[in-house]
Structure 1
Amino acid sequence: MPESIIRDYGWAEEGVLKIQWVQDHMPILKEIRRDFETRQPFKGKRVGICLHLEAKTAYLATVIKAGGAEVAVCGSNPLSTQDDVCAGLVSLGVTVYARHGCPPEEYTSFLHKVLDTRPHLIIDDGGDLVHLLHTERKELLPDIIGGAEETTTGILRLKAMERDGVLAFPMVAVNDGYCKHLFDNRYGTGQSTWDGIMRTTNLTICGKTVVVAGYGWCGKGIAARAKGLGARVIVTEVNPIHANEALMDGFEVMPMVEAAKYGDIFVTATGCANVIRGEHFKVMKDGAILANAGHFDVEINKKDLQAMAQTRRVARRNVEEFRLPDGRRLYLLAEGRLVNIAAADGHPAEIMDLTFALQALSLDYVLKNKGQLPPKVISVPWEIDREVASLRLRSLGVKIDTLTPEQEKYLASWRHD
C-alpha cells in the first residue's frame, strides 16, 4: 500500500492508547475480530473506508484488516479527524490519508488517494466515495464488489442514484439497520450532540429553550436528552407523522419561523439544506446558539448568516460570533459541521460497537454474495441485525427467553384450535 499522509507520525503512542481504550469497550467487534482472524474473509481484498476518523473508526479498520484485507482510510469530515488517532492507526498497519482541519481541496485529494488503492469493497459515510466512483473515477467501477453506507444523508444520495439507474454496485444501507437507527441515531446522537454543545459552550441546558429541527431517530434522541437536561423543547418538522409523534412525546411543535423567536439553542438533524436561514436569523434572540447534528454543513445557511453579519469573531474554540447590525449576536458552533464529532469525541464506544459490528458483517455479507446482489441499496439482512443484538446481550451477561417449538408452530400458522 502507498505511504500514508497524516499530520505527525510522532503522535502514534497517544493514538494507540485511544484505540485501545475503545477496544476494551467494544466487545461485539472484539468477538467479530476473533472470527475474522480465523476465517480471513477479506484475504486478498482491498477495502477503502471514509468515516469520521477517530478512535472507534480506527478500531473498525483494524478489525477489517484482521480479516485479511489491505485497508486504506480517509476522514469524512476535516474537523472530526483526530491526528493522534491517525498516527496510531498507521502504526497498526492501516494506510491513512487525513489531517485535522485540512482545506477542501486536500480533503478531496484524500478521497482520491483512497480510491487510488483500487478498493474492492468500501465503507462510506455521506456517499463521497460512491459519488467520486460514479463521476470522476468511473475507471475503478469494474473492481468494486460493493459496500456499506453509514448515514441517512449517504443513503438519500444512494437511493437517488438508484432511482436514476446509475448505481453500479450494491450498497448495504447500514443506517437503516435496526441496531443502527434505534440505538446509534437515537442514543448515540442524543448523548454526543449535547456532549459537543456543552463542552464547546460551557453553559447550562436547564432552563433554556431548545429548538430541534427534525424528529427522525436522531432528532428524537436530541430532544429526549434536552428534556432530560431540563430544557423546554420545541420541535420543527415537515413530516406530519413525525410531528404527531413529537406532540405525543410531550414536545411543542411549530414552524421554524415561529420557533426561531423562542430558541436559546438550535440543533438541526434533518439531512436537508437551509433548514435555518436568513428569515429565521432575523427574529432570533441575542445570544442564540446554532449547532448542527446532520452530516453536511448545509443545514444552517452560513452564507445568509455571513451576509447579515456586521462583524465576525472567534468567541472561543469552535464558537464563532456573528454580530448583526442591530447588535444581536448569534453563535455558530463548529462551523456548522457535525457538532457531536467536530467539537467532541462522537458517539460513545458502546453505541458504535453496534453500528460498526453491522458495518463489518455487512461487508462480509456483500463479499459472500459477490455477483448475486443487484446494484441497488440493500437492506441489512435481519439475521445480521439479530446476531449483533445477540452478541451485545451475551457481552453484558443478559439472557432472554426463546420460543418453544409449540410457540413457533403457533406463530407460523393461521389455523388455531
Structure 2
Amino acid sequence: MSTETKPYDVKDLGLAEQGRKRIEWAAQEMPVLKQIMEDFERTKPLQGVRISACLHVTTETANLMRALAAGGADVVLCASNPLSTQDDVAAALVVYDEIPVYAIKGEDNETYYRHIHAALDHKPNITMDDGCDLVSTLHKDRPELLEYVKGGTEETTTGVIRLRAMAKDGALKFPVIAVNDAMTKHFFDNRYGTGQSTMDGVIRATNVLIAGKTVVVAGYGWCGKGVAMRARGLGANVIVTEVDPLKALEAVMDGYRVMPMLEAAKVGDIFITVTGDLHVIDRHHFEVMKDGAIVANSGHFNVELNIPALEEMAVEKRQPRQFVDQYILPDGRRINVLGEGRLVNLAAAEGHPSAVMDMSFANQALAAKYILEHYAELENKVYTVPEEIDREIARLKLQAMGVQIDELTEEQKRYLASWQEGT
C-alpha cells in the first residue's frame, strides 16, 4: 500500500502557539535531552538521515523531535495510539519546527494506519517505534522500503515483545535497539512515570477518592510496580494479579495481596491492567464485578480488556463523564471503562512527567546515533541499549539534579579486579 503523502495531517494549526508554550514548559524538566540536543547542534551526527517516528505525540516527544532535527535528521512523526495525541503539540511541530506530523487525537483505525503509511512514505533510514506498529506495517505492507532502513529503536515493552517474536521467526529484516530495556528507561519511566501518570489519568477521568478503595493491578512488571506503589501511596488497598511466580512472590514480599483475577474481580473497586497481553480482564471477570467498578488499562493496547465481550453483555452504554464509557448490564450493574480501554495515562491525562521522559528520550536520541555508527556490524535482531549510553544518561541526570557520587580509588579498582585477595 502506498499513499499520497500530504505535508501534514493535524487537527488545527491554530493550536500551535498553545502547543509551543507547553513544549517549552516540558523542556525545563528535560535537562539531559537538552545537553544532547546542544551536542547534536554542534556535531550534526544525524545529518541527512531520514527518521520516521511512531510515538505518542506529546510535549516530551516534541522535544525529542527537536533534538533529532538539531542533529541534522529529516524527521516525520505519526501517532502510536489513536487517543494519545496532544493536538496543540502536533500543530506546534508543524508550524514552528516544520516537522511533518500525522496525528489527530481520537482518529479512527483507518486514519491511524493511513498516518503510519504517510510516515513510511518518508522512506526511513531509521525507524523509531512505540508498540511496533510502524515496524510491523513496514514489514507486512511496505517491504519495498526495507532496503532504505539501517535500523530502528523501540520504546515500550509491548513493542519489544513483538520484535523479539519477529526476530525469533526470522521475520525481522533490520536491527532494533530496545530502548525500553535500558536501566534508565524501565527503572524510572516504567515505574515512576507509569505509576504517577496512570493514577493521574484515573483521577482526572473519574474524580473518585482513591483512599479506601480496593485497586487491582494486573501485572507486576516495572509498570505494575509503579502503579501499585502510587495507588498504595494514595491510600488504596492494593491487590496484584500475576501469572509469573517470581513476580507474584515479589509482590507478596512487597506487602500486597496476590490472588487470581477471578477472585480479585469480586472485590475490586478499580482495575488497572499493565501486562501487554490479551484479555487480561475477560467476560467471566466482568460477570462478577461489583456495581460501579472502574476498569482502566495502562498497557500499550486496549486488547488487555475484552471490550467486545462487555459490549455484548451490556443492555445500554452511556458516557456520564468525558473518558468514561458506562456499560449497564442486564441486572443493573454498571461497569465503567476509562479512555476506551486505551492507555489511561495518555487518553485521560498527559502521559508521563517530563522528568522521566527526559531519560527515555535521551536513550532514543543516542540509540539513533549508535545505529548510524554501527548498523553495518549489527545483525537483524533486538539489541539492548549499550551500557555506556545507559550510564552516561544516568551521569548526566545526576549532574542536572545537582547530585554528586563517589568514584572508586585505584586501590578499590584493583581489589574488585583481583581474585587473589579475599578476607
Bucket of the pairwise TM-score, normalised by the shorter protein: over 0.9
Answering whether residue 178 of structure 2 is matched by residue 169 of structure 1, we say: no
Residue 18 of structure 1: which of 2, 22, 25 is its match?
A: 22
- Aligned equivalent of 2:289: 284
Q: Provide the C-alpha distance between the structure 1 equivalents of 2:271 and 2:378, rounded to a whole number of angstroms.
A: 42
**Equivalence for 2:76:** 72
Partner of 2:235: 230
Q: Is residue 39 of structure 2 the alignment partner of residue 35 of structure 1? A: yes
Pairwise CA RMSD = 0.9
- What SS is found at the alignment partner of 1:261? helix
Secondary structure of 2:284's counterpart equals helix
Conservation of the 8 A alpha-carbon contact between 2:199 and 2:227: yes
Residue aligning to 1:242: 247
The letter of the residue matching 1:244 is L
Report the residue type matching 2:287 in the other structure: K
> Once the two structures are superposed, what CA deviation does each residue of 1:145-186 show, in whole Å capped at 9, x if it has no partner?
001100100000000001001111110011111011100000
Q: Which one-letter code corresponds to 2:318 in the other structure?
A: R
Matching of residue 57 in structure 1 with residue 52 in structure 2: no
> CA separation in 1, counterparts of 2:6 and 2:31?
31
Report what 2:162 is aligned to: 157
Show the counterpart of 1:3: 7
Match of 1:113 in 2: 118
Q: Measure the CA separation in 1 of the matches of 2:171 and 2:330.
A: 48
Q: Name the CA distance, whole Å, in 2 between partners of 1:135 and 1:78.
A: 20
Within-5 A mapping of 1:277-356: 277-356=282-361
Residues 296 and 339, structure 2, Cα contact 8 Å, conserved in 1 = yes
Matched residue count: 417
Amino acid at match of 2:80: S
**Residue number in structure 1 paired with 2:278:** 273
1:95 aligns with 2:74: no
What SS class does the counterpart of residue 203 from structure 2 fall into? helix
1:107-161 alpha-carbon deviations (Å, 9 max, x no partner)? 1000000000111011100001110111110000010000110010000000000
Q: What is the match of residue 258 of structure 2?
A: 253
Which amino acid in the other structure matches residue 221 of structure 1? G
SS in 1 for 2:326: strand
- Measure, in 1, the Cα distance between the counterparts of 2:252 and 2:109: 40
Of residues 210, 213, 218, the one that matches 2:218 is: 213
Equivalents in 2 of 1:12, 1:282: separation in Å?
45
The corresponding residue for 1:139 is: 144
* Matching residue within 76, 82, 86 for 1:82: 86
String of CA shifts for 1:354-389, please: whole Å, max 9, x gaps: 100011111111111121111110011000100000
- 3-state SS of 1:315 partner: strand
Report the TM-score when normalising by structure 1. 0.99
Report Cα offsets for 1:32-76 as digits up to 9, x if no partner.
Answer: 001100110110111110001011001100100000011000011
Distance, in Å, in 2 between the alignment partners of 1:54 and 1:44 is 25
> Distance in 1 between the 2:48 and 2:231 partners?
47
Determine the C-alpha separation between the residues in 2 that align with 1:99 and 1:283.
37
Opposite residue 28 of structure 1, the aligned amino acid is V
TM-score normalised to the size of structure 2? 0.98
Retained in 1: the 8 A contact 2:175–2:375? no
| In 2, Cα distance between equivalents of 1:176 and 1:389 | 14
Q: Is structure 2 residue 388 aligned with structure 1 residue 388? A: no
* Shift, 1:2, TM fit: 5.5
**How far off its partner does 1:99 sit?**
0.9
Give me the whole-angstrom Cα distance separating, in 2, the residues matched to 1:252 and 1:415.
Answer: 46
Provide the rounded CA distance (Å) in 1 between the counterparts of 2:117 and 2:338. Answer: 29
Match of 2:383 in 1: 378
Q: Distance in 2 between matches of 1:38 and 1:401?
A: 31
**1:151 partner letter:** T
Matched residues, percent identical?
Answer: 56
Could you tell me how far 1:411 is from its partner in structure 2? 0.9
- Aligned partners of 1:321 and 1:276: how far apart in 2? 16
Which 4+ runs in 1 deviate beyond 2 A?
none
1:125 alignment partner, one of 130, 144, 148: 130
> Which 10-residue stretch deviates more, 266-275 or 87-96?
87-96
Which residue of the partner structure matches residue 194 of structure 2? 189
Q: Among residues 43, 49, 53, which one is paired with 1:45 in the alignment? A: 49
